[in-house]
Amino acid sequence: MTIQLRQCIRAAQRGDKLAAEEVIRAFKPFLNKQAKQYQKQYRRHYHNFYEALSTAYQGAMHCILHYDLEQTATVAEVMAASVRNYFRRESYGHQCYCDRVEKNVFENDGVTDLPETALASEGDCPEYRYFQNELGQDLTLALEKLPELQRQLVLYHCVDGYSYRQLGEEYCLSKANVGYHVNRGLEKLKRHLTQTGPGGSSAVYMVSLT
């Protein structure tokens, strides 16, 4: 079996997609097991089994494409290490995003206009999607309770990095007006999160944010 897997990996590294699929198929039970385990362990970052399974497949493909055919370690050993490293690396990245967002909410004095040269491209920093899919449930619910304008301005300024001037031009508001709405939104978020705390009961969510 090990010799057959090495042959499939050699073919996959030469561009044979069917060979790569054969290796994935051989490790499918292992990948499913890892996805279930890490989805439970990192449930804050993986909302369902299929999100975790996607990470498992990424780790598997990395193993296939970078496996050194001359090494003594078996394919199974390298596959296990690659998949687990992918889960740990992705979880660490999600945690860094979460820490950054929470810092912006709780330390709103530190949220300032960023120079345009410091802004990452939308493709490099999909922060809005992160808010939707990866942020903790408390903050997501609190954002939904903000008035539409305040929610948009907070997201664009604190997450995407748009300056007050840029947002003023986009929404036909003065720079001072944008700052007022952003600060009001952050105050409401901070008050809500302080009152609920992590994993607060659902009854606390009834606190008015408008």
Residue 105 has pLDDT above 70, yes or no: no
Ramachandran angles phi, psi of 116, nearest 5°: -60, -30
Contact present, 177 and 168 (Cβ < 8 Å)? yes
Instruction: Report pLDDT digits (tens) over 39-64.
Output: 888 777 777 888 888 889 988 998 99
Q: C-alpha distances in angstroms, 85 versus 9, 51, 179, 185, 189?
A: 20, 16, 42, 38, 35
For the segment 31-39, the average pLDDT, to the nearest whole number, is 89
Q: Tell me what pLDDT residue 32 has.
A: 92
Contact present, 193 and 142 (Cβ < 8 Å)? yes
3-state secondary structure of 34: helix
Does pTM surpass 0.85?
A: no
Q: Which residue has the higher pLDDT, 80 or 91?
A: 80
Nearest to 80 by CA among 60, 107, 96, 99: 60
Is domain 112-206 annotated with CATH 1.10.3470? no
Q: Tell me what pLDDT residue 108 has.
A: 53
For the segment 11-28, the average pLDDT, to the nearest whole number, is 90
Q: Tell me what pLDDT residue 95 has.
A: 67
Q: Which is it for the CA torsion 58, 63, 64, 66, positive or negative?
A: positive
For the segment 129-143, the average pLDDT, to the nearest whole number, is 58
- Classify residue 68 by its DSSP letter: -
Residue 132 has pLDDT above 70, yes or no: no
Of the chain, the percentage scoring pLDDT greater than 70 comes to 68
- Classify residue 205 by its DSSP letter: G
Domains of the chain, residue spans: 2-99, 112-206
> How far apart (Å, rounded) are the C-alpha atoms in residues 10 and 19?
9
Q: Tell me what pLDDT residue 200 has.
A: 43
> How far apart (Å, rounded) are the C-alpha atoms in residues 132 and 129?
5
Residue 163 has pLDDT above 50, yes or no: yes
Amino acid letter, residue 11: A
Nearest to 111 by CA among 209, 22, 198, 187: 187
Q: Which residue has the higher pLDDT, 66 or 140?
A: 66
Residue 169 has pLDDT above 60, yes or no: yes
Q: What's the chain's average pLDDT?
A: 75
Residue 123 has pLDDT above 50, yes or no: no
Contact present, 157 and 111 (Cβ < 8 Å)? yes
Residue 120 has pLDDT above 80, yes or no: no
